């Protein structure tokens, strides 16, 4: 999978932007906690800070960005390298299962089951002509993965996804993960395959992380009440309803 790696400069830029965006999020949380009586909703803005920072830095490396919808009420950014027609996005690893990438892994009691296609699966069809390693059968199909029971059926969304499949040559996913000390500890680069729903490892970028240590003051923003344990809805993929007549 080495042929799908980004350049060292691009990878370092993404890693640095994730760390810096997360730091900006921490500073924002500290500020809001100081001036507001209640600020727990800001716990859900981490992805916005990270994606915004990547958008700022990526312009110097040949990338543009586009706002797109991941559901009925939240947006996310897609990053595009025009020269190579590569599209990538960033996901929170806590809700990402590389063995069944198109379905979000949902902790807690907020679970529903169902065979649903998500926007990640549709975007991964961009990669249908790419070569992936041959892997032996696994328990991939038996992995327990769940997603919210909200689905999009709008023709506009389907048309946009069809346009993506003809406009781009590769679709990549990068994930970031926080450790028990709430610090950015892992950043991993994947290439998803729509045919078996597996996200293949392209490169573990964790060794490129620097400056991620948090201070005791930073950590105070996480010493909050249990309301912030509510699962962030923006972390989950909103699916496109299956065509029950065709069973697609």
How far apart, in whole angstroms, are the C-alpha atoms of residue 109 and residue 166?
Answer: 39
How sure is the predictor about 108, in pLDDT bands with cuts at 50, 70 and 90?
low
What is the model's pLDDT at position 41? 72
CA dist 130 → 102, 121, 200, 230 (Å): 18, 15, 12, 38
Which among 95, 77, 58, 247 is positioned nearest to 176, based on CA atoms? 95
What is the model's pLDDT at position 149? 38
How sure is the predictor about 107, in pLDDT bands with cuts at 50, 70 and 90?
low
What is the model's pLDDT at position 247? 40
As a three-state string, the secondary structure of 142-193 is HCCCCCCCCEECCHHHHHHHHHHHHHCCEEEEEEEEECCCCCEEEEEEEEEE
Residue 207 neighbours by CB under 8 Å, 6+ apart: none
What is the model's pLDDT at position 14? 97
Mean of the per-residue pLDDT values of the chain: 78
Highest mean pLDDT among 98-107, 113-122, 138-147: 98-107
**Interval 55-100: pLDDT, tens:** 999 999 999 998 887 655 567 899 999 788 899 999 999 888 899 8
What is the model's pLDDT at position 150? 43
Which among 129, 70, 59 is positioned nearest to 102, based on CA atoms? 70
How sure is the predictor about 118, in pLDDT bands with cuts at 50, 70 and 90?
confident
Between these two residues, 22 and 38, which has the higher pLDDT value? Answer: 22
Residue 228 pLDDT greater than 50, yes or no? no
Which of 112-121, 218-227, 229-238 comes out lowest in average pLDDT?
Answer: 229-238
Which among 50, 97, 45, 104 is positioned nearest to 77, based on CA atoms? 50
**Interval 156-198: pLDDT, tens:** 556 666 666 678 899 999 999 999 889 999 999 999 999 999 9
What is the model's pLDDT at position 113? 41
Q: What is the mean pLDDT of residues 201-208?
A: 97
What is the model's pLDDT at position 106? 66
Domain boundaries, the chain: 2-240
How sure is the predictor about 234, in pLDDT bands with cuts at 50, 70 and 90?
low
């Amino acid at each position: 999978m080495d042929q799908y790696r980004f350049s060292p400069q691009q990878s370092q830029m993404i890693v640095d932007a994730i760390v810096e965006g997360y730091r900006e999020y921490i500073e924002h949380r500290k500020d809001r906690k100081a001036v507001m009586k209640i600020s727990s909703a800001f716990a859900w803005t981490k992805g916005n800070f990270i994606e915004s920072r990547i958008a700022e830095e990526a312009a110097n490396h040949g990338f543009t960005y586009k706002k797109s919808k991941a559901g009925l009420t939240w947006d996310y950014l897609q990053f595009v390298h025009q020269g190579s027609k590569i599209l990538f996005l960033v996901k929170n690893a806590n809700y990402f299962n590389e063995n069944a990438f198109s379905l979000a892994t949902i902790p807690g009691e907020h679970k529903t089951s169902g065979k649903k296609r998500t926007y990640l699966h549709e975007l991964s069809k961009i990669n249908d002509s790419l070569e992936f390693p041959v892997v032996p059968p696994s328990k991939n199909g038996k992995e327990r993965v769940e997603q919210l029971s909200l689905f999009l059926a709008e023709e506009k969304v389907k048309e946009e996804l069809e346009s993506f499949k003809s406009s781009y040559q590769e679709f990549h996913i990068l994930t970031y993960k926080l450790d028990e000390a709430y610090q950015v500890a892992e950043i991993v680069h994947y290439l998803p395959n729509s045919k078996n729903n597996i996200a293949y490892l392209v490169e573990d970028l964790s060794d490129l992380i620097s400056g991620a240590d948090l201070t005791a003051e930073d950590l105070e923003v996480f010493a909050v009440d249990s309301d912030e344990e509510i699962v962030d809805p923006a972390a989950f993929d909103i699916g496109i309803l299956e065509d029950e007549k065709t069973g697609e």
